Chains A and B, each alone.
Chain A
Amino acid sequence: MSDWTGKRLRVYLTEGKVVTEEIPQDELQRYLGGLGLGAYVLFNEVKPGVDPLGPENVFIITTGLFNGTCLPCSGRWSITSKSPQTGGYGDGSIGGDFGAELKYAGIDQVVIYGKSPKPVYLWIRNDTIELRDASHLWGKDTWETHDDIVDELGDHEIKTTIIGPGGENLVRTAVIVTGLARTAGRGGLGAVLGSKNVKAVAVRGKGAIEIADPEGFDQVRRLFYQKLQESHHAIEYRKKGTLSITRGSSDGFLVTRNGQTGYFDGWKNFTASTFNEEFGTKKEGCFSCAISCGTHYVVKDGPYACTGKSPEFGAIAKYMSAIGNDDLAAALYALTLCNKLGIDAISAGAIIGFAMEAWEKGLITANETDGVDLTWGNVDAAIEMTRKMAYRDGFGDILAEGSRGAAKQIKGSEDYLLEAKGLEWISTFPGVGHERGRLLALATSTRGADHLKGYMGELVGTQLAFDAIGGEERAAELYDPSNHQGRGTLLALQNRMRAATDSLGMCWFSAELQMLGDLGPDELARGISVVTGMEVDRDRFMYLGERAHNLQKAFNIRDGIGRSEDAVPKKFLVKNADTEGVPGIDPDKFNEMLDEYYDSSGWDRDGIPTLSKLVELELDFVAEQIITK
């Protein structure tokens, strides 16, 4: 008896067939769930060179190990596929209620193959699994689709995962949406479902989850809850959500006008307090959340009247500072629009920012943009372009290829790209201090310029960091912004922790900043032990995370995504950046950081995991495929 249901669905769309199978215990124990189990199946099922939007790609849904339990903040589940945006490893961790519902239906993983001859949706009701016609849903937005599915199946408690017009139209930044506004997220995985003619997955589960050690579990759940009541980090997000990140301080923090600067005069217009005073209504949380960082919003009237929820900093900033817009109501409207259309608001806003810079430089004009005026700050144009992108209408068709894809069609615009591996940069600017260190994390992330694989600064001040870096005194050097040493080591450590945490379905906001009282590897390892009955300690936890991270890396290496793609956008490479106190990074320093990171990861200087590392991680089957020398 354990929290694993041990069941996997294989959905063969081309044949219209669904097969249920037991997942081998050994597989569960080595990959846990979520990110880990998803990465393992992806590595095995998708051969190198496969077109992400072709029928040979697979789309995988995996529950986090802790999904559906009463461990607080354990509601996150994973999707995994080859990314249409980066052409490499793609995944997303997502909250809401869907993962828990899937567990209650008795399923740990769904692997979707092939391509359906006509639009379908997958309906999972406990043991009854059905591919249903979705022709009448095709073309509808994600909110309408959810309502229609609920009406059709006659159960309000059904949880859904849906693509919008963005996914249907194979927009390379398309997302999947659950609970109206929770998305996954980056890398365009919604387009993979679109390419397979899958509009949605609906699930209703009425079974129960078993716990291996109920008495031990009872202690662990209380410990988790207690720690999250006391964590300074959780307290902050509980009060303010991620808009608490918005700041306009002297360190030049906000990607402004496609990264022309880190200073945005209108920053006060999208702080948590401005948002809460003007538009915020009720707090909302994912399944089992003891933080509830999300907030519903209502823009009552005017041109931007809308409802929505979870206005995350990363997305809102893209429709504020990144395009030079001051009007929060308009940004909220754009966010709701993105969620309904099923495209990633972070990338969408970033791509429009990129197009605005191309406009400013005269590389595109009204002739190319169908008459839309892409002057900085023109938020109505941004909203219109968002719509055009989702429907691949006119100039929107070019932007729907992502900024890297669009740059190939906009002559001279490459210098203004703000991405890594083809994925648009997040909303924080690599100004100074840890933000500069973060360049390394974004450049090397397995899914592109995104902070969610590892992130600088979180570990600073923890025992884990001291151990990794050679003592507390050395760790203190990390506070020196001009110091580049140590950051690669910490990032390598962080990758492991993050991959393990994402396999459990634990929210980062509960396990991100241990120096502020969050849950750490010791607690999470104990959680694994009590729900599965498999003894896990901190070292084993980190080891399992390292395996999962190496699988992601190996997937990319196998597809030719190596050191040259672990790169910083051109505009952030600045000779002597740190000594002159300007934003960006010195190319030589960046290369030093990269070397240290590879060394600490057990990879060679091309970023390829070494044979000895892979053997140590019992990933021999990976070694066979990526080590050619």
Chain B
Amino acid sequence: MKLIKIIQENCTGCRLCEATCSFTHFRKISPELSRIRIFKEEEYGNHIVIMCSQCEEAPCIEVCPTEALQRNMESGVVMLDINECSDCGECTEACPIGAPFITNLTDHPLKCDLCGGGEPECVQVCDRQALVVEDTSVDAAHRKQYMETASEQLTLRLGDGKK
């Protein structure tokens, strides 16, 4: 299975991924419509890249009351069926990095679907390879590490109640 590997150290904070993601899925452009979000840290460039890493044990699937979130066994991608989704926000709460994003612009959370296969659009425009496609068997440990690090970074950033 091939998934996106997130290498935060490589991120330059350009956010072309955000703009591209929203355009790809909505034909409109807004970070609010993106399934990947970059929280910029301007002084040292330690930007936080937040996107679903398709966890092996996905808390979002477990908490979804309508079973709108299901794993596609073939691709490994956790898919959101927006017809089943009640927009309750439980998945966002359950995710350690809040990666299904709630927004006023849609009536369901935004969740990465890897653009339905192949090379996702955000990866194609990530000039510095902060996003790469890799076989899950190779990067399982890295994905776990990413979730832990990003979660800690977010807590630090949002610890004071800001978002």
Contacts and interface: CB of A to CB of B under 8 A. Distances in A.
A157 B32 contact: no
Interface in A200-254: 206-211, 214, 217-218, 221, 225, 229, 238
Interface string A269-282: 00000000000011
Contacts, number: 125
Given A69-B29, A283-B128, A288-B16, 11 more contacts: A70-B22, A70-B29, A154-B162, A179-B40, A210-B28, A221-B20, A281-B45, A288-B19, A289-B127, A290-B16, A292-B12
B13 interface: yes
A65 to B, nearest CB: 13
Contacts of B9: 282
Contacts of B15: 97, 100, 287-288
A327 to B, nearest CB: 23
Contact of A155 (B19, B40, B163): B163
Contacts of B155: none
Contacts of A282: 9, 12, 44-46
B22 A208 contact: yes
A307 interface: yes
Given A70-B19, A154-B161, A208-B32, A284 B45 contact: yes
Interface centre among B31, B124, B128 (most CB of A within 10 A): B31
Contact of B14 (A69, A155, A208, A290): A290
Given A208-B22, A238-B127, A292 B43 contact: no
Interface in B106-163: 124-125, 127-128, 157-158, 161-163
B4 interface: no
A411 interface: no
A285 B104 CA distance: 28
A589 interface: no
B39 A157 contact: yes
Nearest 10 Cβ contacts at the A-B interface? A285-B14, A208-B30, A70-B19, A282-B45, A292-B12, A285-B12, A208-B28, A214-B27, A70-B20, A289-B14
Interface of B: 9, 12-16, 19-20, 22-23, 26-33, 39-40, 42-46, 103-105, 124-125, 127-128, 157-158, 161-163
Interface of A: 68-70, 72, 97, 100, 104, 143, 146, 150, 154-157, 179-181, 206-211, 214, 217-218, 221, 225, 229, 238, 281-292, 294, 296, 298, 307, 309
Nearest to B22: A208
Contacts of A289: 12, 14, 16, 127
A612 B2 CA distance: 63
Given A69-B19, A156-B39, A287-B14, A292 B128 contact: yes
Contacts of A207: 30, 32, 105
B19 A206 contact: no
A73 to B, nearest CB: 9
A289 B42 CA distance: 15
Nearest to B37: A157
B44 A281 contact: yes
A459 to B, nearest CB: 26
Contact of A208 (B16, B33, B44, B128): B33
Nearest to B26: A208
Contacts of B44: 281-282, 296, 298, 307
Nearest to A178: B42
Contacts of A146: 42
A151 to B, nearest CB: 8
A179 B32 contact: no
A143 B44 CA distance: 13
B73 to A, nearest CB: 31
B12 A70 contact: no
Nearest to A3: B29
A284 B13 contact: yes
Contacts of B29: 68-70, 208-209, 211
A291 B46 CA distance: 18
B28 A156 contact: no
A294 B40 CA distance: 15
A282 B13 CA distance: 10
A100 B162 CA distance: 21
B23 A211 contact: yes
B45 A309 contact: yes
Given A281-B44, A296-B45, A206 B14 contact: no
A423 B28 CA distance: 42
A87 B28 CA distance: 42
Nearest to B43: A307
Given A155-B163, A211-B23, A281-B44, A292 B30 contact: no
A154 B159 CA distance: 12
Nearest to B45: A282
B22 A283 contact: no
B19 A156 contact: no
A100 B16 CA distance: 11
Contact of A292 (B26, B125, B127, B161): B127
Contact of B104 (A104, A206, A217): A206
B45 A290 contact: no
A286 B14 contact: yes
A214 B43 CA distance: 36
Contacts of A298: 44
Contacts of A286: 14
A296 B20 CA distance: 25
A292 B47 CA distance: 14
A405 B162 CA distance: 46
A291 B9 CA distance: 16
A123 B124 CA distance: 35
A70 B15 CA distance: 9
Nearest to B19: A70
A201 B103 CA distance: 25
A538 B74 CA distance: 48
B31 A104 contact: yes
26 contacts: A68-B19, A70-B29, A72-B127, A104-B30, A181-B42, A206-B103, A207-B30, A208-B30, A208-B32, A214-B23, A217-B23, A225-B125, A238-B127, A282-B46, A283-B12, A286-B14, A287-B14, A287-B15, A287-B19, A288-B15, A290-B127, A291-B127, A292-B14, A296-B43, A296-B45, A309-B45
Contacts of A283: 12, 45, 128
Contacts of B104: 206
Nearest to A71: B19
Contact of B16 (A72, A206, A210, A214): A72
